[in-house]
Amino acid sequence: MNMIVLCTMQQIFPNSEVFELLQNIPGMTWTPGVSQRFTNLSEFQLSSLFNPIMFKSQIQSQKQDTNHFSNTELPDNWSWVEQSPECIVVGDQGYCGSCWAFSATNQLSDNRCIQQKDKQRINYSEQFTLACDHLSLGCNGGYLGSVQSFLFKKGTVTDSCVPYTSGKSSHQGKCPNKCVDGTELVLTKSSSYKGQLQGEMQIMAALMKGTVQTQFICYEDLMYYTAGIYQHVHGKIKAAHAVQMVGYGEENGVKFWTIKNSWGQNWGENGYFRIIRGQDECGIEIDAYELNP
């Protein structure tokens, strides 16, 4: 299932009634709270993170063979944050619905570092991806299939060449033909990608190579997540949101995915969150993308 990832909130945060309700639900696997990331934000600023409309994508993946593993060949726990901490960096999309561009471009950055295609992690330009993938909608959202195809066919430049500015302006701007210092663009592409990985085993196997881009349905209660293993318990659908899977594990008998978000380090567990694994929670296991640098 491909869908456009648009990323708005229709009400001012926090809603005291929702917060109180979440604090009194028994058996929660996660801790609700008011994140520093959203403190003192206007309704407009919050609306830049989500949008409730979703569409099917017409983009087809560049199909590649994936190694197949049995569950006995895969480790019980895995985290690129622990394995290669120098390669995994949490970004902040700001007030632009660019989660689709952030998760894909950072997947390229992270995986090139993990697979040692770059001597050290290079931050590739989310801004260039955002402005130049014309099959997506800039700050109004994008398609995972489209952005993966874009990085494979065209590629992106470094962040130092085209820095991220849309987080403050809320507009993607024009696709540049020069770096900000006037030098020529040097594009870096992915070597291949495989889309629509589905299910726990396929995603776990893909994570052995690097981080995985995915999308999921956001509900109102995610805005109140601060720590723990997220599971939807209350509220209406607010959005589709694109993120990166960076690992998996189990805590107190509850299996989880470790997710790198693009809301900065002041949200969730230092910019990450964990979500129930193995039951397609919020649709997070039905449209994941492997990117080979």
Active site residues: 99, 241, 261
* Closest to 220 (Cα-Cα) out of 37, 45, 12, 40: 12
Q: Which long-range contacts (CB under 8 A, 24 or more apart) does 111-119 make?
A: 111/209, 111/210, 111/211, 111/291, 111/292, 111/293, 112/188, 112/293, 113/84, 113/86, 113/87, 114/80, 114/84, 114/87, 114/209, 114/210, 114/211, 115/209, 115/210, 115/292, 115/293, 117/293
Query: Based on C-alpha coordinates, what's the Rg of the chain?
Result: 18
Which residues, listed in sequence order, are joined to residue 229 by a DSSP beta bridge? 274
Query: Cα 51 to chain center, whole Å?
Result: 15
> What DSSP element (H or E) covers 109?
helix 99-114
**Tokens for 203?**
């995603």
**Cis check: omega of the bond before 14, within 30 degrees of 0:** yes
Residue type, 218: C
